[in-house]
């Protein structure tokens, strides 16, 4: 599973154990969401406004296949969208504040409410989002030009 809801992961059988003791950081410099429009789905790139790498809150697990092979996997936790992402999608990945990364990884932090408190929408004013080429929809395209805006940057809801 690619995503898990931060609000319910601690109770879901597939994530309960990982939420308590198998948390990880997923490094990123940006992520995409797609807006539904009458003309089709439009991709948007979201990143921190000053563009440093950041960490998404993740959960990892190790699975055993029917052939006995081990498979390591992870899922990214999502929360309600902030005022910027809300223009495109109702959810967003949980971006951890730098000062919360150590707490997220702390093996002694088990209480679900204390863990969940770290999973808040990242401040919209600290992010930027803008439309990019539809070529991001194909893994055949891997080019820095995919990060170039092809339209007007988003303003947060209520801005």
Q: Which structural domains are found in the chain, ordered by start? A: 3-147 (3.90.1680.10)
Average pLDDT, the chain: 94
Q: How far apart are the first and last CA of the chain?
A: 34
**pLDDT digits over 71-104, tens only?**
999 999 999 999 999 999 999 999 999 999 999 9
**pLDDT digits over 4-52, tens only?**
999 999 999 999 999 999 999 999 999 999 999 898 999 999 999 999 9
- Rounded CA-CA distance 31/54 in Å is 11
1 compared with 52, residue with greater pLDDT: 52
- Rounded CA-CA distance 69/41 in Å is 38
- H or E element: which one contains 154? none
Dig out the tokens for 93 from the structure. Answer: 């990945």
Sign of CA pseudo-dihedral 86, 89, 93, 94: positive
Task: Over range 127-155, report the average pLDDT.
Answer: 92
Given a cut of 70, whether residue 159 has pLDDT beyond it is: no
pLDDT band at 156; cut points 50, 70, 90: confident
- The predicted structure's pLDDT at residue 1: 77
Other CB atoms within a 10 A radius of the CB of residue 35 amount to 15
């Amino acid at each position: 599973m690619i995503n898990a809801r931060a609000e319910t992961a601690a109770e879901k059988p597939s994530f309960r154990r990982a939420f308590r003791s198998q948390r990880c950081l997923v490094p990123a410099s940006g992520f995409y969401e797609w807006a539904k429009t009458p003309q089709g789905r439009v991709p948007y790139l979201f990143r921190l406004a000053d563009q440093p790498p950041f960490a998404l809150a993740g959960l990892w697990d190790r699975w055993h296949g029917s052939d006995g092979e081990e498979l390591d996997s992870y899922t990214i936790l999502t929360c309600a969208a902030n005022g910027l992402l809300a223009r495109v999608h109702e959810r967003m990945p949980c971006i951890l504040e730098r000062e919360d990364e150590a707490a997220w990884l702390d093996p002694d932090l088990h209480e679900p409410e204390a863990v969940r408190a770290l999973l808040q929408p990242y401040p919209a004013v600290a992010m930027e989002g803008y439309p990019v080429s539809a070529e991001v929809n194909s893994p055949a395209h891997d080019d820095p030009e995919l990060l170039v805006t092809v339209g007007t940057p988003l303003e947060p809801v209520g801005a």
